[in-house]
Amino acid sequence: MKENRIYNFNAGPAALPLEVLEEIKDSFLNFGDSGMSITEISHRSALFDDVINDAVARTRRLLKLDDRFHVLFIQGGASMQFCMIPMNLLGPSDTADYVNTGTWSTKAIKEAEILGKTISVAASSEDKNFSYIPKNIPFNKKAVYIHITSNNTIKGTQWASFPETGGVPLIADMSSDIMSRPFDAGKFGLIYAGAQKNIGPAGVCMVIIRDDLLKRVPDKLPSMLKYTTYATKNSMFNTPPCFTVYMIQLVLKWLEETVGGLEKMEQINQKKARMLYEAIDAGEFYHGTAETASRSIMNVTFRLPNETLEKQFVEQALKNGLGGLKGHRSVGGCRASIYNATSLEAVEALVDFMKTFAQTNG
């Protein structure tokens, strides 16, 4: 730890790289020698053009995006995308497939249904309390898109590899694992991610959309709910959340220049997750809630022998400088979110605490 900072395992808003926070601290009052804070400069200025264009360029490099893709910054979080996607992409005679792997998938399905769109739930893991990722899914070849949630923060499951769709564009809510590993972006028609888990603070959703889906956007939609509005105006049809975009730019810079890219980031993330799951599996005091083959490397969910011990675990962990370990209110238990900015040192400290707590209370 540094100064009075704790090890932050919150699920979102979540940990940010310390050196990014320090850079912001140093430049906050006088950004780019402008004599103004980043929160004061005009979004129409050359200074902010450099910020947003660099964020887009770094996203393209990190994900190896070709010219078919547009990188957008849209307010409303990932939850806004639950309705924007069917509004923009599903016409009256179109259909789409959804895979339900937990809370956020369920919400996305609900929003499409509210709009009266024709969708099908092609697969679901609800039969086992969303503890696994479905396999061998019979997708509809005539679907306009297939929607998945790549990582499920509440249930602690993750797609280890993405499904084959037979050429149907894949859409993914990657809010909690974007930029955590390399993957083939070419099979995706649209990727979206609320920033506040893995790439920045709350306030904006990154949307990456391919040309063929952008062409499906109907003219008669409210301007702020059309992807074309953002694509044609470089996400600046109205005033964007400038500070949040700036922080995303710095996090992407950290990923590229300090970490060394997504391959290196994945190696670190795999090591963190392996350490934590080994601690959970070492005895009978802790037990993971996700099936082993579907375990997330971003959100590690686990239970203790009873709720009283879980409460004590969370309280004592905080006293030892380990914060954010309470499970989501809908499921209880414990959860350690180990996003990109959560250090190996933080996970080592948590594992040491878990061993001591189990020895004392087991």
* Residues assigned a catalytic role: 104, 173, 197
18: left (phi over 0), alpha (psi -120 to 50) or beta: alpha
- Alpha carbons 245 and 242: distance in angstroms, whole number: 5
CB 199 within 8 A of CB 177: no
150 DSSP assignment: S
What is the DSSP secondary-structure string of 4-42? TPPEE--SSS----HHHHHHHHHHSSSGGGSSS-TTTS-
**Which residues are 97's β-sheet partners?**
120, 146
CB 88 within 8 A of CB 218: yes
CB 104 within 8 A of CB 98: no
Cα separation values, 309 from 7, 64, 215, 316, 358, Å: 21, 46, 54, 10, 10
326 DSSP assignment: B
CB 105 within 8 A of CB 154: no
- Alpha carbons 217 and 237: distance in angstroms, whole number: 17
Specify the DSSP element, H or E, that contains 157.
Answer: strand 157-158
Q: Which two tokens stand for residue 163?
A: 């499904």
